[in-house]
């Protein structure tokens, strides 16, 4: 079961050839997918040979095979973690019952919505990143971008398989619609706002893969607990791919910081103007990008109080992060959780039923996890002997969803007047000038072992290859 059959048109480990109807339906979707990739996938890259990893098994050891492939020939397929026939539901009202191998009729609409919402983010990020290859800082980075892109494409396949296999005609229609919506399109946008924002430069890309792909991790972890076993198994395998995306983001930002600190020490200055004249990205600009991506991403967890979140949990559709490691009753009735609201010009905590606050629970788990990486970035600054530290903004800062939507709160968590917000927003969020400066640095560097001036080379290459390996052959 764990070995993937590559002799078939659609590589898979779900015995696709035994279900002819399903196989035919997916084989009809496949050329539409490829057209979508050619239309809005990585620009100008169709003929490149890229050093990519491809899944060859779902075993934790040795699932990936590396080699140069043209991206339209990448073997996108359907890979589920092995199932446990005795798996039991371990949270919510059905606790202790057998996990579902099929979709219970009463949960069909909600499950479809969950799968479509997750599925929609996958092609969206490919669309958001499609121009970045034109301004890559190195071949190594270009390869990492493309690896992320092909895997997001595969994540779309993962969700489309579920839609086709378990949701009949509705599912097939949703699978088509996933190829029709477009990131940032005025008439037919992607479902979630962070996936309609632009990813115009590589600092944004690294911040996106650090913060927004990490949202992906937390959503997938919550779905990996699902009572609907095929969803749990497919998201578990997606998580192994997601880890690389977050590595690209964390190491990318870290290398930008390292290069900046290097210039600060060489020039003995922390003056942004002087550092910009030297062609590196000053730390306050990095902080503003961080503030933007963090705040936009934490909105993705949804409203702090949500009856849908309660329903998804109680009915067993979506668990908490690391549900199995928690020692409470996994039903949560009668328990409470603290959420924030503004009262008399101040942020105050309010106790609400925990079931309704599960979006907030997941958001708080996410915030803890993302702060850990920011501390690793701070180590780079500290090692360079520079006193400044980066900080994740307060979770009430720059929010657009839930009780805090539109409330003016500074990154330090202090409620501010409209006047103060307007006076200080340029210190807190990237300005047009910041974005124009970062954009001005973006030029294409693709010589073997060469790196753009604004970023340090990585410590080591991919799959133990040297840093100056030919990761992309341009033909
Ligand atoms: Fe993904
Ligand atoms: Fe991802």
Over the chain, what is the mean pLDDT?
A: 96
* pLDDT surpassing 70 at residue 332: yes
pLDDT value of residue 63:
79
Window from 30-34, 54-58, 132-136, 306-310 with minimum mean pLDDT: 54-58
Tell me: pLDDT of 290 over 80.
yes
Q: How far is the CA of 86 from the centre of ligand 1 (A)?
A: 28
Ligand 2 centroid from CA 44, angstroms: 22
Residue 395 half-sphere exposure, CB side, CA atoms within 13 Å? 26
Task: Give which of 176, 177, 216 is closest to 195, Cα–Cα.
Answer: 216
Distance 348 CA to ligand 2 centre (A): 34
Please give the pLDDT value at position 6. Answer: 79
Q: Say how many CA atoms lie within 13 Å of 432 toward its Cβ.
A: 0
Mean pLDDT of the 446-452 span:
96
Q: Could you tell me the end-to-end alpha-carbon distance of the chain, in angstroms, rounded to an integer?
A: 38
What pLDDT score does 56 carry?
80
Question: What residues contact residue 339 under an 8 Å CB cut-off, 6+ apart?
Answer: 304, 305, 349, 350, 352, 357, 360, 403
With vertex at residue 230, the alpha carbon angle to CA 227 and CA 231, rounded to the nearest 5 degrees, is: 70
User: Which residues lie across from 100 on neighbouring strands?
Assistant: 228
What is the per-residue pLDDT for 2? 59
Residue 71 has pLDDT above 80, yes or no: yes
Looking at all shown ligands, the one closest to residue 209's CA atom is 2
Give distance in angstroms: CA of 231 to centre of ligand 1.
14
Strand order in the sheet with 49-55: 64-70, 49-55, 472-473
Q: How far is the CA of 340 from the centre of ligand 1 (A)?
A: 30
Ligand (nearest to CA of 121): 1
Query: How much distance in Å is there from the Cα of 417 to the middle of ligand 2?
Result: 37
pLDDT over 50 at 114, yes or no? yes
Token representation of residue 354: 């925990």
- Mean pLDDT computed over 348-370: 98
- b/e per residue 376-385 (b: at least 16 CB within 10 A): ebbebbeeee
Distance (angstroms) between ligand 1 centre and the Cα of 125 equals 8
Instruction: Give the pLDDT mean for 132-160.
Output: 97
Residue 209 and residue 49: Cα distance in Å, rounded?
23
Strands 336-343 and 346-353: what pairing?
antiparallel
User: What's the rounded mean pLDDT across residues 183-198?
Assistant: 94
* Chain centre to alpha carbon of residue 291: 17
- Whose atoms come closest to the Cα of 247: which ligand? 2
In angstroms, what is the span from residue 213 Cα to ligand 1's centroid? 7
Instruction: Tell me the average pLDDT across 189-195.
Output: 93
CA distance 95 to 1: 28
pLDDT (tens digit per residue) in 244-288: 999 999 999 999 999 999 999 999 999 999 999 999 999 999 999
Quick one: average pLDDT of 448-469? 96
Question: What mean pLDDT do residues 415-441 have?
Answer: 98
Ligand 2 mean position, distance from CA 21 (Å): 30
Model confidence at 60, in pLDDT bands (50, 70, 90)?
A: confident
Q: Which residues contact 149 (CB under 8 A, 6 or more apart)?
A: 41, 42, 71, 126, 129
CA angle 416, 375, 260 (to 5 degrees): 90
| Per-residue pLDDT tens over the stretch 377-422 | 999 999 999 999 999 999 999 999 999 998 999 999 999 999 999 9
Nearest ligand to the CA of 242 is 2
Is the model's pLDDT at 1 over the cut of 60? no
Neighbour count for residue 352 (Cβ, 10 Å): 16
CA of 246 to the centre of ligand 2 (A): 7
pLDDT for the residue 302: 96
pLDDT above 90 as % of the chain: 93
Tens of pLDDT, residues 300-315: 999 999 999 999 999 9
Q: What is the 350 CA–ligand 1 centroid distance (Å)?
A: 34
Distances (CA, A) of 413 to 58, 196, 250, 340, 407: 44, 27, 25, 11, 11
């Amino acid at each position: 079961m764990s070995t993937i059959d590559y002799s078939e048109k659609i590589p898979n480990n779900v015995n696709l050839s035994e279900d002819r109807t399903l196989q035919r339906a997916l084989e009809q979707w496949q050329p539409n997918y490829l057209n979508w990739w050619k239309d809005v996938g990585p620009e100008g890259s169709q003929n490149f040979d890229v050093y990519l990893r491809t899944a060859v098994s779902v075993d934790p050891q040795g699932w990936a095979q590396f080699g140069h492939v043209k991206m339209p020939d990448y073997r996108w397929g359907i890979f589920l973690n092995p199932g446990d026939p005795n798996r039991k539901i371990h949270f919510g009202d059905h606790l202790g019952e057998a996990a579902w191998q099929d979709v219970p009729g009463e949960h069909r609409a909600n499950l479809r919505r969950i799968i479509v919402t997750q599925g929609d983010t996958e092609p969206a990020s490919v669309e958001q990143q499609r121009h970045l290859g034109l301004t890559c800082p190195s071949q190594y980075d270009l390869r990492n971008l493309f690896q992320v892109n092909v895997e997001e494409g595969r994540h779309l396949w993962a969700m489309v398989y579920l839609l086709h296999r378990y949701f009949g005609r509705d599912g097939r229609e949703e699978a088509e619609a996933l190829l029709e919506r477009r990131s940032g399109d005025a008439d037919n946008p992607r479902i979630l706002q962070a996936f309609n924002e632009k990813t115009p430069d590589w600092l944004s890309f690294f911040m996106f893969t650090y913060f927004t792909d990490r949202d992906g991790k937390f959503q997938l972890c919550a779905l990996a607990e699902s009572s609907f076993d095929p969803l749990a198994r497919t998201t578990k395998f997606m998580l192994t791919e997601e880890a690389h995306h977050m590595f690209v983001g964390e190491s990318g930002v870290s290398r930008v910081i390292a290069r900046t600190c290097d210039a600060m020490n060489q020039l003995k200055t922390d003056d942004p103007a002087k550092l910009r004249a030297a062609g590196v990205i000053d730390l306050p600009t990095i902080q503003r990008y961080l503030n933007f991506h963090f705040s936009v991403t934490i909105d993705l967890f949804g409203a702090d109080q949500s009856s849908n979140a309660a329903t998804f949990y109680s009915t067993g559709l979506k668990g908490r992060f690391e549900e199995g490691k928690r020692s409470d009753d996994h039903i949560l009735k009668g328990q409470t959780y603290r959420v924030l609201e503004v009262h008399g010009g101040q942020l105050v905590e309010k106790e609400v039923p925990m079931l309704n606050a599960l979006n907030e629970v997941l958001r708080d788990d996410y915030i803890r996890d993302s702060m850990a990486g920011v501390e690793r970035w701070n180590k780079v600054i500290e090692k360079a002997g520079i006193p400044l530290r980066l900080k994740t903004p307060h979770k009430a800062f720059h929010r657009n969803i839930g009780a805090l939507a539109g409330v003016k709160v500074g990154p330090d968590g202090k409620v501010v007047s409209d006047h103060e917000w307007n006076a200080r927003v340029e210190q807190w969020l990237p300005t047009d000038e910041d974005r124009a400066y970062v954009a001005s640095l973006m030029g294409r560097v693709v010589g073997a072992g060469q790196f753009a001036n604004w970023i340090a080379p990585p410590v080591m290459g991919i799959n133990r290859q040297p840093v100056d390996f030919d990761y992309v052959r341009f033909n």
